Amino acid sequence: MDNSGLSVLIILAIIGFLWFLPILVIISSRKTTGSEKLAWVLAVIFISWFAWIFYLLLAPLKKK
């Protein structure tokens, strides 16, 4: 593999990590549990980073 191929691989790895970062934050968070956490993760996967911003602002939806 030449140098340009390695550069492309590194860039793709960084983009993949940045895409996966909100999911990791939600999974490791203690703000929500159970089905609410699953709903937030699915929202991030299907709606995008906007759902993560809403998670940071609104979660948890129900008070304990």
Q: What is the mean pLDDT of each run of 10 residues along the chain (64 residues)?
A: 85 93 91 90 88 86 67
* Terminal-to-terminal C-alpha distance of the chain: 54
Cα gap 30→15, rounded to integer Å: 26
**How much is the pLDDT for 4?**
86
Q: Which residue has the tokens 């550069």?
A: 7
User: What are the boundaries of each domain within the chain?
Assistant: 3-58
> Quick one: angle between helices 49-58 and 3-28, nearest 10?
30
